[in-house]
Structure 1
Amino acid sequence: MPAKVDYQRFIDAADDWITGRPGTVVLAFLVLTAGFAVGLPAVSTESGTEQFSEDIPAERALQDVNDKFSDPFAPDEGSTQLIQRDENVLSKQGLLRMLTVQQRMAEDPDMRVVETESAARIVARQLDPSASTLEAEIDAVERATPGEIRTAVGTLARENPGFASLLSDDFNPTAPSASATVGIVRHEVPAGISSGSGQGGSSPLEPIQVEAIYVADAAGGDIVVFGSGVIAQEFGTVIGDSLLIVVPAAVFFIILFLIVAYRDLVDLLLATVALGMAIVWTFGFMGFAGIAFSQILIAVPPLLLAVGIDFGIHAINRYREEGLDEDDPVRAMRTTTDQLLVAFFIVTTTTVIGFSSNLVSGLLPIREFGVVASIGITFTFLIFGVFLPALKLYTDGLRERYPIPTFSQAPIGSEGSSLGGVLSLGVEIAKRAPAVFLVVVLLSAGFAGYYATGIDTTFSQEQFLPPEETADFYDVLPEPFRPSDYTITATINFLEDNFESSEDDETVVYVEGPMERNSALESIWRAGEDPPESFVKDGRHARETSVVTVIRDYQERDPAFDALVARNDRNANGIPDQNLGEVYDYLLSSPARERTLNYLTEDRRNARVVYAVQADATDTEVTADTRLVADRYRMGATATGNIVVFKAISDIIFESAIVSLALAIAGTAVFLLFIYWVLEGRASLGLANLVPIVVTVAFVAGSMRYLGFSLNAFTATVLAMTIGLGIDYSVHLTHRYIDERRVQPTVLTALSRTVYGTGGALLGSVLTTVFGIGVLVLSVFPAIGDFGLLTGLSVIYAFLSSLLVLPAALVVWERLFGVGDVDAETPGNGSGAPPTTPTVE
């Protein structure tokens, strides 16, 4: 037998504390729990897409664009949209309703209104050109007859193109009528309006727009308030609603299965206390570490509950089994912890490897998920590996002294039971054709893995939006579990369906360099020549807006400026190529100043170029073409814009999923080889242990594509998580097999005893894990529901793979590295050895 590392002294030290001083251990953990509870109030929430784009170069460029290309002396502003619908918004009553809401908002100093605009205001000024205030405009509409309103609307429809853009597509200028309109209210706000591509984070407009909702409701009719503040509020509400549904549902199902598994009220309470502590510790850590609770972290509580209950079932049932042959509870618990601490340590380490592989992600929320999940699983190991056994032993001591009711203390599963017969199918396969079966499974896994290479990768705002309509089953939930009514998605869909956008889709190039260099403007213009396919073309040039187009437009309005440009245009192509500082000075002192600052910074060090792109072009095509055009610039240029940023995030999601999966598999393999060398002196046993999890990952990935799931910000973590969760089952079975192999006469007998004993506990834990994590399908966020479904599926695959594939892998391993003839008796374990009672983890 190969030499093993002496690790037992560390296990003995832990055993001494757990069994020798259970009261002290319990008290210490309760004190730690109180300490972690102090961090709970510091946990904040974060939502939306902003958090995913923080570290993206294209996002930083977009923020620079939005921050720099405006008047540096102008106050920060944000806007509120007032969407009026379900009435003729051009009737006298409809016009007055919009004007009244805008007036009330303008008169409230807390709303810091600096400007309002609407179709109603335009009509009022057409009726009375001298009306310059909302009060005067309301008077003008009130005095007007229906005929005068009809005439005013008809005139505006002919002479003011901007008027129709504020009205829905069904606008009829002769009636006049329209079913919807959008009014704008701009506010001066403190710094803090997002200048990037994301939505859903905190917004200084939130209190303003919440108050605006009450103002709109008081005016009657149907005026919906929409803006970044409303979006931020609803994102936060959805997180809270999801937790209120998911966590209690997870607890309900877990307790239900715990009742079946434990069949004892006291043990049920002990496990529940331990679960609560795991949650408190993890959330307390988040508070101390300053990690905000985001949508992706909704998966953590059910995850901890499911893994914790798995550990609890193994610990309690193994102790009960040892109690069948051991009258002394202390010795029974010492035997239990002596075995389970090793198994729990292997499971915890491999799980942490799986979760922490997400730390290589280029997206902060996925990295934070990896940190929180890894820390949470480590806490779960300590609580269920040390605290729960000590609490169980301490409580059983109290039972002997006080009349505490005791129900069933029998372990799950027994040899010869119908459950054991079903679970032993893999052993039967291992008896007959283990090598052939293993080859077939590995070839199938290889095909599934190859098929999975076609999985789509997506990232979009829609993945973070609450549903337009919640499912009917939510209606039966009592308060406070019933979700709120959400308006974001319905409002966005209403705007897209009823208002025609007059703008093309856009992409942006952010230019950094000395814009007074003679070739600067020529470089900008030449970059748009012979544009790629996804760009909208004007002749042979891309349709763009830039400082060049500002210069050309203003030339037509100002003869003096036109002469200045002509004097400095050496090649006579309409673009100045010398004395650019003089050209910019003229523009910035003219009425074109504000427009110029939209495309050129005042220090002349940066420029923004906006290109129109085809509406049917894919994000991949637009991003590639924008980068192609950016590479044409002689100065530093970065492709950016919402399309480019979201495509960059999508690419990072795919890269993160692949890299984290590779690291998780490699890290788990290295650890298993090392730990089995330490424990048994046979590193190769780690390879047999790894086979079921590789098969599981391949089939989960293949199922993702077959079921139509894409890799997104949520599901990208599933493959690495499959390793972290799935290794649990194969580790418990392998570790139990090692124990049984020492006392059973043959390999197949040891496998049978392993499955009969541990299989029942594994079935109990897989049910709690699947239902504990599967309740995520109840989340208001569809993406979180997909995550829960895939995670539950991965756990089922891991369980089946461990029961069906692992026995064959162990038999093949024994033939290659062990006894050879698996039916032969092992020396030292002759057939005369007394049979042992199957143990249970």
Structure 2
Amino acid sequence: MPLAERIETATERLNTTIVDRPRAVVVVFLLLTGVFIGGLGSVQMSAGGLDAFTDDLPEQATLEEVEQNFEEPFQTDAQTTTQLIRTNSNVLTKEALVRDARLLERVAERDEFRMDSARGPAPIIAQHLNPSATTPAEHRRTLERATPSEIRQAVRELRDGSRLTGVVSNDFNPTSVSASASITTISHDFPGSFGDDDLTAVQTGLQAVADDTPGDVRAFGSGTTETEISQSVQDSLLIVMPVVILLLLFFLVVAYRDPIDVLLGLVALVMTIIWTFGFLGYSGIPFSQQMISVPVLLLAVGVDFGIHIINRYREETERGFEAVEAMREANAQLLIAFVIVTVTAVFGFGANVISDLTPIRNLGIASAVGILFTFFIFGLFLPAAKLVCDNVRTRLGVPEFNSSPIASEDSALGRVLAFPARVSQHAPTVIVLGLVLSSVAMGAYGAGVGTSFENEDFLPPEELPAYVTGLPEPFAPGEYTITSTINLLDEKFGSSQGSTVKIYAEGNFKEDHALETLVAPNDNPPESFAVGPGGQAQARSIVTVIQSHADQDEEFAALVARNDQNDNGIPDQNLERIYDELFASSASGRAEQYLTEDYRSALVEYQTDSDASQTEVTTGGDELADTFQFKATSTGDIVVRAAVMDRIFQSAIQGLVLAVVLTAAFLVAIYGILERKPMLGVVNVFPILIAIAFLLGMMRYLDITLNALTATILSISVGVGIAYSVHTTHRFIDEYDATTGAHEAMMITLTGTGGALFGSMLTTALGTGALALAITPILGNFGVLIGLSVTYSFLAAVIALPPAMLLWERTQQWDLDLLARLRPAM
């Protein structure tokens, strides 16, 4: 049996099962829904911030190795530290320091905080005044006994040794001994079983203690970040989902105009969400910020399927068919279209599975599986449930409210939708050429769209919009401080000198001239690193620690001088002894930042040009690492983020190409098998390419970048948008076979299926566009883009398909004419 006949036979059997045994179908689906309900309790919530995108990257692994090997004095390990950020007119007065010491004393007295140590202005200054003071209580007593002049003198002395660097704000003035902000880092001694929730509870408790202390003190740590990102996910769901449901309900009422049909549509939507979330629970895929888009997309696609099946069923009943035969006829026409739409949507959504970034990959899996569930529920369950309900309605004598199709040939909407088909018959070639040229121009303009990967993408804004803050309970969002705290840190402690790149070098640094080779690249660095005097690099390394300690210790300076053969301040022999002396001195803490204790790994930190782009900095870092005579690797936060941005861009392009190629190949094959018209597959893809080109151009115009979520929009646009072309083409084929030409077939298609497409477009565009109301920018931008994508896809299907179909018909006629001419010669 030919493949086309096998497919037709399979769909007929499936249709027969739905129509002849609707109660059995409904029962099976309800039982499966019960199974998926069991997975809801296992759904894991994930903050889905920056860390989720860097876990599996080699660049992040290198950075973590650097952080493990080199001890940084102000390192804020997300699992073990909390920062207390104080702002005041002057945080270095005696009164302010005593308040900080009292706060640390109260924290140390609370066993649940498990404070191991603390580093900040108060303990540093107290220990300088009294080296024997080691506890918060002793620090407080030392500061209380000291005079203001003694404290000011201590600060000036500490400043010379740079021990206050990083714990006081950039406006620190050693002359007046003043600073407007300080950071005190508390290290916690947590057991191995201590989890994120426990850390969050500790940091919440610390904030409560800080609130009881005079002045403005904020507790900040990874627990705070994770909590507020997770809270923003939940708050966004509480805000977005009711709006989506209300919009969908409104359009269901408009489209169905019958309360029973509306109820059926809502039941199907709820089942789709239960199945998808149940799958997430059973599969262990966490629900993160990016996942909020999944239920919104599925609801929108589900409504699309529902409108088509109910609208086509009503068309058949208006033609005089009874309920069972009307549904049999409607299903016979729509099942293949639903299968085609589902497969192409899976290609579009699932193309994100190839991403190197775990959250994007998870999004691809969840959305692809969700689309399959949507097909099963709306393609199989909804028709069966509709027949069961209509049967019950008939037995009980419940009247129908309004069962007419959305649009007809005589309706105003039908005439508007058919207008492109009327125009296309006069100059289809000119119209198609104009569409191609305009889409090429928009695509070329959109090729300059930017890429971003920043904290701001994931975090709620510092000031929430008025429509959010004015919401009543339970929709009112919680209080967010993370963004304002990060902005405060950037303002008070951020560097105006650009980013820092770390070169991780491995080798035997006890060899003569090891230090000379370590600083050799500094003389001729890449342009983005030439920020020092004379265009040299501004670097910090074990060499700068040696030179700094030599300036303070005459005996050590003499040791360095004896082993400096070329008198440039860098020792080039007897290095092991120099390291031993350095690590045994008061400079050991700074030495551990740049050289491991076995003297086989070194770290060099480079300041970069503040005007240099991220690409220039990362490229320059790689070039600099290549000039080292040791094995060297460039790393740092900016390098890791650049790597993520590269992968985001790759995911966007690769996902789009894969989605388009798979979709086009499938459509060519399926139309070739079923209709022996493979070129219809190419025609089918034409509108979606136009829609994507216009979407890219609009992204750049609106200054929306490709980020951790919007990078998926291109392939998702294929999955969502191709449905409009497929439904239009499938209906066109049915009508084309029964009429005399493409123009007439397209007119009937746009006045019939066009109405369902228009209703689907409104529900999908506004439903998914409701994501723009989400608290975090990453979701808001995605909502705007998916709304635009759906709108462009609908317009392209209505405007671009009619002239393309007319040209396709002409090529068909040319082929027939050519074949007729060749036959006499054969």
After TM superposition, the score normalised by the length of structure 2 is: 0.90
Where in structure 2 are the equivalents of 1:285-324 lying within 5 Å?
A: 285-324=279-318
**CA deviation profile, 1:348-383 (whole Å, cap 9, x unmatched):** 111111112222222221111111111111111111
The separation in 2 between residues aligned to 1:621 and 1:759, in whole angstroms, is 50
Partner of 1:445: 439
- Give the alignment's Cα RMSD to 1 decimal: 3.2
- Residues 156 and 163, structure 1, Cα contact 8 Å, conserved in 2: no
Tell me the equivalent position of 1:835. Answer: none
Three-state SS of the structure 1 residue aligned to 2:184 is: strand
- 1-side partners of 2:176 and 2:503: how far apart? 45
**Contact conserved, 1:58 with 1:638, CA < 8 A, in 2?**
no
Task: Trace 1:605-624 onto structure 2 (pairs within 5 A).
Answer: 605-624=600-619
CA distance in 2, matches of 1:125, 1:606: 31
Partner of 1:281: 275
Aligned to 2:386: 392
**Cα shift at 1:493:** 1.6
Contact 2:76/2:185 (<8 A) preserved: no
Which residue number corresponds to residue 764 of structure 2? 769
- Compared with structure 1, are the counterparts of its residues 601 and 451 closer, same or farther at alpha carbon in structure 2 (3 Å cutoff)? same
With over 3 angstroms needed to count, the CA separation of the structure-2 counterparts of 1:120 and 1:687, relative to structure 1, is: same
1:164-313 to 2 correspondences below 5 Å: 166-167=167-168, 179-190=180-191, 202=196, 205-313=199-307
| Matched position secondary structure for 2:218 | strand
Contact 2:539 2:607 in 1 (8 A): yes
State the one-letter code of the partner of 1:155. Q
8 A contact 1:700–1:797 mirrored in 2? yes
Q: In the alignment, what sits opposite 1:353?
A: 347
Q: What letter is aligned with 1:105?
A: V
* Stretches of structure 1 lacking an aligned partner (at least 5 in a row): 194-200, 823-841
Kept after mapping to 2: 8 A contact 1:203/1:232: no
User: Contact between 1:3 and 1:680, CA under 8 Å: does it hold in 2?
Assistant: no
1:458 aligns with 2:452: yes
How do residues 46-85 of structure 1 correspond to structure 2 at under 5 angstroms?
46=46, 47-70=48-71, 78-85=80-87
Deviations 1:796-823 (A, max 9, x none): 111111111101100110011148999x
Deviation of 1:188 after TM superposition, in Å, equals 2.5
Counterparts in 2 of 1:434-583, with a 5 A limit?
434-499=428-493, 501=495, 505-515=499-509, 520-535=514-529, 536-537=531-532, 541-554=536-549
- Per-residue deviation, 1:699: 0.9
Report if the CA contact (8 A) 1:466-1:780 is conserved.
Answer: yes
Q: Does 1:332 align with 2:326?
A: yes
Partner of 2:357: 363
Q: 2:272, 2:67 → 1: CA distance?
A: 43
Q: Given that residues 290 and 363 in structure 2 are in contact (C-alpha distance below 8 angstroms), is that contact kept between their aligned partners in structure 1?
A: yes
| Residue 625 (structure 2) pairs with residue 630 (structure 1) | yes
Q: Is the 8 A contact 2:33 2:271 kept in 1?
A: yes
Cα distance in structure 2, aligned partners of 1:132 and 1:601: 27
Counterpart residue type for residue 594 of structure 2: Y
Which of 148, 153, 158 matches 1:155? 153
Shift in Å at residue 287 of structure 1? Answer: 1.7
Match of 2:751 in 1: 756
Does the C-alpha gap of structure 1 residues 555 and 476 become closer, same or farther in structure 2, counting only changes over 3 Å? closer
Q: Note the C-alpha offset of 1:431.
A: 1.7
The answer to whether the Cα contact below 8 Å between 1:5 and 1:681 also exists between their aligned partners in 2 is no
Instruction: Give the one of 635, 645, 652 matched to 2:647.
Output: 652
Distance 1:503 1:3, change over 3 A: closer
Relative distance call for 1:178 and 1:610 in structure 2 (3 A) is closer
Deviation at 1:242, TM superposition (A): 0.9
8 A contact 1:814–1:820 mirrored in 2: no
- Aligned to 2:491, the other structure's residue is in SS state helix
Instruction: Give the length in aligned residue pairs.
Output: 809
**Counterpart for residue 790 of structure 1:** 785
Deviations 1:657-692 (A, max 9, x none): 122212221111111100101110110111111111
CA distance in structure 1 between the aligned counterparts of 2:331 and 2:801, rounded to whole angstroms:
25
For residue 264 of structure 1, report the CA deviation from its aligned partner.
Answer: 1.4
Distance 1:558 1:522 in 2: 22
CA contact (8 A) 1:217 1:223 kept: yes
Pair 499,583 (structure 1): closer, same or farther in 2 beyond 3 Å: closer
Kindly indicate whether residue 38 of structure 2 is the aligned counterpart of residue 38 of structure 1: yes
Cα deviation for residue 747 of structure 1 reads 2.3
Q: Distance in 1 between matches of 2:465 and 2:209?
A: 30
1:425-455 deviation line (CA, Å, top 9, x unaligned)? 2111212111111111111111111111211
Structure 1, 808-817 or 333-342: larger mean CA deviation? 333-342
**What corresponds to 2:714 in structure 1?**
719
**Structure 1 contact 4–681 (Cα < 8 Å) conserved:** no
Q: Which is further off, 372-381 or 121-130?
A: 121-130
Q: Is the 8 A contact 1:412 1:761 kept in 2?
A: yes
Structure 1: which amino acid aligns with 2:325?
R
For 2:69 and 2:223, how far apart are their aligned partners in 1?
23
CA distance 1:139–1:600, shift in 2 (3 Å)? closer
Cα distance in 2 for partners of 1:95, 1:762 equals 68
Partner of 1:832: none
Check if 1:17 corresponds to 2:12. Answer: no
Which of 675, 685, 706 matches 1:690?
685
1:729 is displaced (CA, Å) by 0.5
Percent identical across equivalent pairs?
45
Mapped to 2, the partners of 1:557 and 1:152 lie a distance apart of: 22
Separation in structure 1 between the aligned mates of residue 37 and residue 321 of structure 2, nearest angstrom: 38
Q: Is 1:669 paired with 2:632?
A: no
With 85-94 and 628-637 compared, the bigger mean Cα shift is at 85-94
CA contact (8 A) 1:449 1:701 kept: yes
Segment drifting more, 570-579 vs 37-46: 570-579
Contact kept, 8 Å, 2:156 with 2:177, in 1: the verdict is no
Give the drift of 1:567: 7.7
What are structure 2's unaligned runs of at least 5 residues? 818-826
Report the CA distance shift for 1:684/1:101 in structure 2 as closer, same or farther (over 3 A).
Answer: same
Residues 203 and 69 of structure 1: CA distance in aligned 2, closer, same or farther (over 3 Å)? farther
Output the CA distance in 1 between the equivalents of 2:157 and 2:671: 83
CA contact (8 A) 2:497 2:608 kept: no
